[in-house]
Amino acid sequence: MKVDPKKELGSYRVTRGAWRDLVVPPMRYLMVDGQGDPNTAAYAEALSVLYPVAYATKFASKQQLGRDYVVPPLEALWWADDMAAFTTRRDKSAWRWTAMILVPDWVPADLVDAARNKAATKVPAGLLERLRLETLDEGRCLQRLHVGSYDDESPLLAELHDVEVPARGLALTGRHHEIYLSDARRVEPSKLRTILRQPVVSTQPVQAASGEPPSL
C-alpha cells in the first residue's frame, strides 16, 4: 500500500481562513540552500538536485524495504537579514532560502546515501555536493492555508506578525516555512495552495504547578 505523507501526517493539515496552533515533531528533509530571487536559475538548480534524489529514495524504499510512498510536496524555508524584505517590500534579491523535501521516518540514512549516489548521473556536476539530509525541529508553530499567487502572501504575513502572534502572547522564532501543495507548473497562480508556517514561542511566564512555590 502506497503511503501519502501529505494525507497521513497531521502537520500537513490546515483550515482555510484560520490560523492553526500546533506542535510539529522533528522531521528529516533533503535540503539545498541558496539565496536570491526564486525565479532565477539558482532555485531551479536546487530543485534539479532535490527531485532526482527524492525519487531515487522513494524507489529504493519500495524495492529494498517494501514500503512505497508518494514523494512529499516541495517545501522551503525563507528569511532575510531584514525580514521586511520578505514580508512587506518583497525584495526577492535579498531573500535566502532552503528548498527541501521530506524523507519518511522509516527510511534509514544509508539508503538515502545510496539513492543520492544513484541519482548522481541525473544531476549536473557539482550540484550534488549542495544536498544534505538534516532534521528540522520546529516545535510549536502557527500555520494557515494561503490560496493564490505567492506574491499575494503579504497580507497574511502581516496579519500573522502584527496581529495573531502578539494577540496570542507569542513571539516569532525560527524561519518562515512554506509548503507547496500545488504544482506551480500546472496550476494557475490564483488557485495555488500553500501552507504558511511560522515557528513561535510563548512570551508568557510559566505558571507554577498547584501547591508549588513559583521559581525564582
pLDDT digits 0-9 by tens, 8-17 = 999 999 977 9
Each residue of 91-125: pLDDT tens digit? 888 889 999 999 999 999 999 999 999 998 888 77
Structural domains of the chain, with CATH: 5-202 (3.20.80.10)
The whole-angstrom separation of Cα 62 and Cα 58 is 6
Mean of per-residue pLDDT scores for the chain: 90
pLDDT of residue 216: 44
Quick check: 208 pLDDT over 60? no
Each residue's pLDDT tens digit, 40-53: 888 999 999 999 99
Q: Summarize the confidence of residues 17-45 as an average pLDDT.
A: 94
DSSP 135: E
**Between the CA of residue 164 and those of 12, 108, 153, 168, 198, what are the distances in Å?**
20, 38, 15, 6, 11
Alpha carbon distance 204, 196 (integer Å): 24
Cα atoms found within 13 Å of the Cα of residue 150, Cβ hemisphere only? 17
In sequence order, the 6+-apart residues with CB closer than 8 A to the CB of 43 are 34, 36, 37, 97, 99
117-146 pLDDT per residue, tens: 999 888 877 889 999 999 999 999 999 999
Query: In the prediction, which pLDDT does 15 show?
Result: 79
